[in-house]
Structure 1
Amino acid sequence: MSAGNISFKDFFIVGFPGLQREYYGTVAALLLFVYVSILVGNGIFIILFALEKCLHKPMYYVILNLVVSDILFSTTTLPKIIARYWFQAGNISFSGCFIQMYFVHYFGTVNAFILAIMAFDRYVAICNPLRYPNIVTRLNIFYLCLVVWVIGHACPLMMAIRAYPLPYCAENTIIHCYCDHISITSLACTNRALYSVPAFVFAMVVLLSPLAFIVFSYCTIIVAVLRISSAQGRLKSFSTCSPQLIIIALYFLPRCFIYLSSNIGINFSTDLRLVIIMMYSLFPPMINPLIYCLRTKDVKKSLLKRLNISINPQNNPTKVNVSTVCT
């Protein structure tokens, strides 16, 4: 596969076009803080999951997949834009830009459908609690997540293959913080409709299909919870859903806002639009670990137990029975 009519060898990632040079260091430091926070926060969950047997439950396997996807997405996008502002190294090779584009859309696809699996877990737990142990097993969750990771390749790969051979004879500047389909194909010297329309349809399918299932699941959950006679029972049921609802809202609501605003005539400056995109791309991976730890009982107990062991080793026996950590 070869690209045609190329007048340059590299793309240049501009980032925020209106940002003054004196703020480059500040923005780079902020993005580095976000990246380190994502690695540390999600890394803590991975370590807890590996150490604590009580976290080896279907719901936490789903969260583990979300954590891995968040880390990979952040690692795909952040190092290059940090280097652009810290070292003025914004160049990315022609092929490298398409590889980044592919992974950006791939991990975005995986995230959306993993969130749908999380909604499925809560739907079965509340609407069919007696069948939950038989339906939501570790093996079934493994197969569902595996399917997501495998079929998630299809559309991003198709987009990359179709965009790569276009005649790129215009400017090589990517007005974005990373390479995505729109920012790349807008530089092609050809009719973009043949390429942008299928990409838009793909984006809508990836966004709206899991979102439709999530909305259906939680509407059904709300109806089931309202039928519970005990106020304490209703509160307990809602509390088990709150972490997933927060994560889902952080992921989907800003994306829907951006997509809808562009189609109903609400216009933003390029810098403001990029700020919103970066916030909904990076804020959820950074804040999700706090939600797991503060709103999920098993993870919270595991973390506090491990911190207590680290701070006061003399108060703990040499051998710790990890099976009791989450009880």
Structure 2
Amino acid sequence: MGRNLDIEERIFNYEISSEAKKLAEKYGYSDYIVERYLKLLDNEAIDLLEANEIPMPQTIRCNDFLIRCDELEKRLVNKGFKIKKIPFLPHGYEIISSPYKVGATHEYLMGYYYLQDPGSMLVVYLMNPKKNSFIIDMASAPGGKSSQILQLTKDNVKLVSVELKKDRIKSLRSNLQRMGFSSYIILEIDARKLSLKDADMILLDSPSSGEGIIRKDPKRKKSRPRSDMKKIHMLQFQLLNKAIDMIKPEGEITYAACSTAIEEGEYVIDKILRRNEVDILNTYSPIGEHAFIEFNGVKFDDRIKNCIRLWPHKHGTEGFFICRLKKNQN
């Protein structure tokens, strides 16, 4: 018990150095976030802070369920858009410049594309959803990843899209309908209370602190008091435990958090591995790097190196943690 308390202290209550306080004041952050950057990245922490000052470019995912991507390119270019293919995303494009709002075109309203950040797209490509499978998306609104699952399976799948908040279900339903899909049902429920069983695949793009989208939303630099981190961690841990209970033996779970925080990535997975019911899949990713197996003197399970981290200053994406798990046979 004492050892566990010591680990929790090291993860959640590490001391803040004078350097972190100084940098936090300069860049407008909560100091505990900057201290974590320093502990994880050392000299690269400044690179990350600088990268987070550069706004995220707008990016879209072509919906080739309704239109060929080369045809969408032509349509947008003819309207005066300047776009660039994102090499590591099969359907991803960066909007270099646009004559008007990207979400106000006829093509958008017809469901030919979805506004989605690159790291978010990558999560579902790495998940690699299979046709004819039973899939649960445990936190689905506003529908980016659910629509991508349906797109990659050509709408040939049994998808349950789960959302807790009633006001977000409207956008979820609207996006799935707009993009031409029908092989899904939407459940309004806390995913921790689901009673589903034997899913083939589960996606948990977990509720998070949102530290990974500081480039998109600078308010995230200070939006979460430090005391929130343990609450967020526990929610993620509970949701992932529920996913393990719902997945069938040999089924796959993709866990993701749009965050640079150890508390929301490596430490969640480290605790989950102690159940001895899942193993980590070694996943090839065109970008990213190995997750951490140590933080502030706490050693994590070595298998966690096979999880993936995306960094704004290295990969030009949001900050993301991505890990694929496979449930062991009973």
Greater Rg by CA? 1
More contact order relative to length (CA 8 Å, sep ≥ 6)? 1
More helix as a share of residues: 1
More strand as a share of residues: 2
Instruction: Tell me the TM-score normalized by structure 2.
Output: 0.31
